[in-house]
Amino acid sequence: MKWALLVFVLLMFGLVARVVLWPLAFAHRAVSVVSAQLDPAELQRRYEWFKDAAAQLDQKRATVSVYAKRFEQLEASYAGKPRSAWARDDREQWAIWQSEVAGVRASYNTLAADYNAQMAKWNWRFTNRGMLPQGATEPLPREFKPYVEE
């Protein structure tokens, strides 16, 4: 009988300990997650990711604009002539540039989708509030135009 009582007391102690300690463990984990998400080094890393991604997106748009000017110049040199009347090397160059532009646009679309998805996450929304870091002159875009199709 003593053993049964001892086992019962130990089981009840374990149950009470779980009921009391589980919320404390849960609260500790929640504090750990929030602490990790708001760590200054993590915030800096995320801000830098957004800055780098925004710069890459701007660069990709500028690259597409450079190609557009190349296309205009090549078309202007053959004004009024169908492409079949162009010199062979110019037709080949046109095709190469078309392929390169398609790759840049696809890369832009991928990065813009990632940027927009990251900006929408709750734990990355720190960029939507507060003051700008020292040296920053304008806030990060909240979203990049998705997507380049032409």
Q: Write the pLDDT tens digit of every residue in 16-56.
A: 777 776 776 777 787 787 777 778 888 888 888 988 998 99
75 pLDDT band, cuts 50/70/90, is very high
Report how far residue 69's alpha carbon sits from residue 108's, in angstroms, rounded to the nearest whole number: 19
Phi, psi of 18, rounded to the nearest 5 degrees: -65, -45
- How far is the C-alpha of 48 from the C-alpha of 32, rounded, in Å? 23
Considering the domain architecture, whether residues 82 and 9 belong to the same structural domain is answered as: no
Lowest-confidence region among 1-15, 31-45, 121-135: 121-135
Q: pLDDT band at residue 4, thresholds of 50, 70 and 90?
A: confident
20 with 49, same domain: the answer is no
Angle at 44 between CA 136 and CA 121, to 5 degrees: 100
32/99 same-domain check: no
- Distance CA(144)–CA(115), nearest Å, equals 7
Tally of domains in the chain:
2
* Together in a domain, 61 and 119: yes
Do 110 and 145 form a contact (C-beta atoms < 8 A)?
no
Q: What are the tens digits of pLDDT across the range 88-124? A: 999 999 999 999 999 999 999 999 889 888 887 766 6
Confidence class for position 130, pLDDT limits 50, 70, 90? low
Residue with the bigger pLDDT between 39 and 131: it is: 39
Same domain assignment for residues 74 and 26: no
Q: Are residues 8 and 64 in the same domain?
A: no
d(CA 113, CA 111): 5
Q: Are residues 26 and 95 in the same domain?
A: no
Residue 140 to residue 147: CA distance in whole angstroms? 18
Measured CA angle at 125 (ends 123, 128), to 5 deg: 160
- Supply the range of the domain harboring residue 12: 1-37
* Co-location of 81 and 148 in the same domain: yes
Same domain assignment for residues 9 and 81: no
Contact between 124 and 118 under an 8 Å Cβ cutoff? The reply is yes
DSSP string for residues in 111-141: HHHHHHHHHHSGGGGGGGSSPPPTT--SPPP
* Same domain as 144, residue 122: yes
In the numeric block, the tokens 């997507």 are attached to 147
User: Are 112 and 124 part of one and the same domain?
Assistant: yes
- Same domain for 33 and 44? no
**The token pair that represents 55 in the structure block:** 């710069």
